[in-house]
Chain A
Amino acid sequence: MPVDRRDSTPLLLANARIVDPSRDLDFVGDLLIADGVIREAKRGIVSAGVPEGTDVIDCRGKVVAPGLIDMRAFIGEPGAEGRESIASATQAAAAGGVTTIVCQPETEPAIDDPTIVDFIQRRARDTGIVHVYAMAALTKGLKGEEMTEIGLLKAAGAVAFTDGMKSVTNAQVMRRALVYARDFDALVVHHTEDPDLTGEGVMNEGEFASRLGLIGAPKAAETIMLERDMRLVGLTEGRYHAASITCPESLEVLRRAKDAGLRVTASASINHLTLNEIDVGPYRTFFKMSPPLRAEPDRRELVAALAEGLIDVVMSDHNPQDVEVKRLPFAEAAPGAIGIETMLSAGLRLVHNGEVKLATLLRALSTRPAELLGLSGGTLRPGAPADVIVIDPEVPWILDRDTLKSKCRNTPFDEARLQGRVVRTIVTGRTVYEFV
């Protein structure tokens, strides 16, 4: 649900490097915001004069870009507010330049009923400082058996349908959900993992897992499910999004499907783009993820796929976990990491390394998710809602997890050396975060 707290004071972001991936624009100029919408983005508005009372902010050396849209984040409302509430999640999001969160349906109860979509929207309106949209369950109770009320959920405001971290293993259920969702032009987002093949696997299968004496999860578990899904998308002509791709084998499947004209897109998590299995080190449970972190060659291919646009979206896979479920032997610890606040800074590593262009990263973090979910953000086009961020792309800093705004501390980037951060986050024309 969009937050609407329009600030009547016009705002001019002056002398900024303006990057708008939705229009392939990248130039130095000014961006004018008034009445909660973007008025103009062009070279030299200042010289042409600005409206009376405009707040002018000098953004020399900074990047102005569309606010980020995080397509996969867990918020614990309702049912697990101790892990994360809409209030804490949106605070963290604002500090990370995320102006729209798409929350996952694995709440208690699950988001499988229009009343819960409504509840989340009202809570977001009352307690959130950035936009929150719900991704609803694809099957009732996330059980993988019966499809949810896709039409009613979509009408209530659900932006896509997923069973979260669960795969729908029954091909018949998946086929029917895909074809039914197609009639409503609803996007189906799927975690691709054959749970039998993953078995008790807790980290990437290979030498490293073998040395640690941990059971590995093979990459094939992901690729097999993705391949099945591509057949079903071919059969149904549904609109499909792979929730979290991690390996070259899956990228090949994705490429073939796209080449064949299927309506298929895919995300990669910031974790899989910037970390690898070696980071697990001596059983560090903050690096336990689902799907697991892969080997370095896998990571590099994933980054290359992002650079060429084969990977459409980068998401945080934000998953707050209490200390009690992380301070356990590795195999028994819960998977997941928080990431909404660090996603952009971590992603900028790829830019500074020369692996991905800034505009490409920002496109995957804003424009593409907006397009896939049918949201009005992800652009600096005049008339669009003023969800805008100002980035200092160069400033070096060290992450201290105790300064994070999330309720949980399970970040894999604690004490990481980062370069670049969000310095201002604007939602519907109003500044909701400022780094001082």
Chain B
Amino acid sequence: MNTAPKSSFVLSSRHMLGIEKLSYSDIVGLLDLAEEFVLLNRQVEKKTSSLRGRTVINMFFEASTRTQASFELAGKRLGADVMNMSVSSSSIRKGETLIDTAVTLNAMHPDLIVMRHHASGSVELLAQKVDCSVVNAGDGQHEHPTQALLDALTIRRRKGDIGGLTVAICGDILHSRVARSNIILLGALGARVRVIAPSTLLPPDIDRFGVEVFRDMREGLSGVDIVMMLRLQRERMNGSFVPSVQEYFTFFGLDQKKLAYAKPDALVMHPGPMNRGVEIDSSVADGTQSLIREQVEMGVAVRMAVLEALSRNLPNA
């Protein structure tokens, strides 16, 4: 067994509901703690015992492979008992079971619940109904805080300071919780944030989020340090938001030609899963500037940091 992390950081709130609710010192504290777990995760012996005896329930109302696996691994490496519950949204009568399930689970005395749900605000609703700590693993189109934290950690490790960097977030901003969390987080850390998308995929009043708005990839990518691509759901490419895959890829897909407008040392990120040939060309996704695999690695470390930090606020800790 390895020793517990040295950082004595404690989160200022009981839940991890969104980046919006974190203070600057919360953010930096989590990133610093995550750094320690990155080192741990690269060792042969990857386990600690700081969450030994704790129960973590992963409750996913929306299909997810990587986030769920990442949280599961994070919990296990901290020594917690992890239970995975996948509740397919088709088998439930909308949110009714959300509260019911929450009450049921609460009776089993979990210490942490990690939840993903298709409705914005659902994780906050759950947090009001249970006694344990709650982690938002993505709620509708609202927030996905651990994704933003892992993105920030990835950038920080490669670029040093995030302050002063220019980051372009490209694609389906409208439906993206990743974009919302990243806009808040990167802004808080002093980055200049741009969003690039066709107007149909931009949230109303997005300019009031403190971002620069572009509708043209070449203009928007000019001189940026980081290019963050977002996934575009297939059902949104049939004419409802953009006319076709081909048209979208032509104007907004990231290929080598468009990437050339960014700084020569610009790095490319994607929260996954990727639609190759839709929002990103394979040559870019697998190219030397891509950080996509590193993001996945940072994901486990960040989630360990979040679980660890929240557990320090639990009773009898």
Contact = CB atoms under 8 A, between A and B. Distances in A.
Interface of A: 205-207, 209-216, 218, 282-283, 324, 327-333
Interface stretch (B154-162, B202-210, B227-235, B264-272): B202-210
Given A207-B204, A213-B142, A283-B124, A324 B96 contact: yes
A210 B95 contact: no
A421 B213 CA distance: 50
B166 interface: no
Nearest to B95: A328
A329 B204 contact: no
Could you say which of B119, B121, B140 has the most chain A C-beta atoms within 10 Å of its C-beta? B121
A95 B208 CA distance: 44
B72 interface: no
Interface of B: 20, 94-96, 98-99, 117, 119-122, 124-125, 139-143, 177, 180, 203-206, 208-209
Given A328-B99, A329-B117, 6 more contacts: A206-B205, A212-B121, A218-B204, A283-B121, A327-B99, A329-B121
Contacts of A328: 94-96, 98-99, 119, 125
A218 B205 CA distance: 12
Contacts of B122: 329
Contacts of B208: 207
Contacts of A213: 120-121, 139-143, 177, 180
Could you say which of B119, B139, B141 has the most chain A C-beta atoms within 10 Å of its C-beta? B119
A282 B136 CA distance: 15
Contacts of B121: 212-214, 282-283, 329-331
B258 to A, nearest CB: 26
A283 B120 contact: yes
Contacts of B20: 211
Contacts of B96: 324, 328
Nearest to A331: B119
The 4 closest A-B pairs by CB, nearest first: A213-B142, A329-B119, A283-B121, A213-B141
11 contacts: A207-B205, A207-B208, A210-B203, A213-B177, A214-B120, A283-B120, A328-B95, A328-B119, A329-B121, A331-B140, A332-B119
A211 B139 CA distance: 13
Nearest to A283: B121
A205 B204 contact: yes
A282 B142 CA distance: 12
Contacts of B143: 213
A329 B95 contact: yes
Contacts of A330: 119-121
B102 to A, nearest CB: 11
A302 to B, nearest CB: 21
A211 B180 contact: yes
A283 B125 contact: yes
A210 B140 contact: no
B124 A282 contact: yes
Contacts of A324: 96
Contacts of A331: 119-121, 140
Nearest to B174: A210
Contacts of A332: 94-95, 119
Given A207-B208, A212-B142, A213-B141, A329 B203 contact: no
A330 B206 CA distance: 21
B204 A209 contact: yes
A157 B113 CA distance: 56
B125 A216 contact: no
B125 A329 contact: yes
A212 B205 contact: no
B204 to A, nearest CB: 5
Contacts of B94: 328, 332
B205 A210 contact: yes
Nearest to A328: B95
A211 B120 CA distance: 10
A209 B204 CA distance: 8
Contacts of B99: 327-328
A243 B51 CA distance: 57
A328 B121 CA distance: 9
Contact of A206 (B140, B141, B180, B204): B204
A205 B119 CA distance: 17
B82 to A, nearest CB: 25
A209 B205 CA distance: 9
Contacts of A209: 204
A214 B124 CA distance: 14
A330 B119 CA distance: 8
A218 B124 CA distance: 26
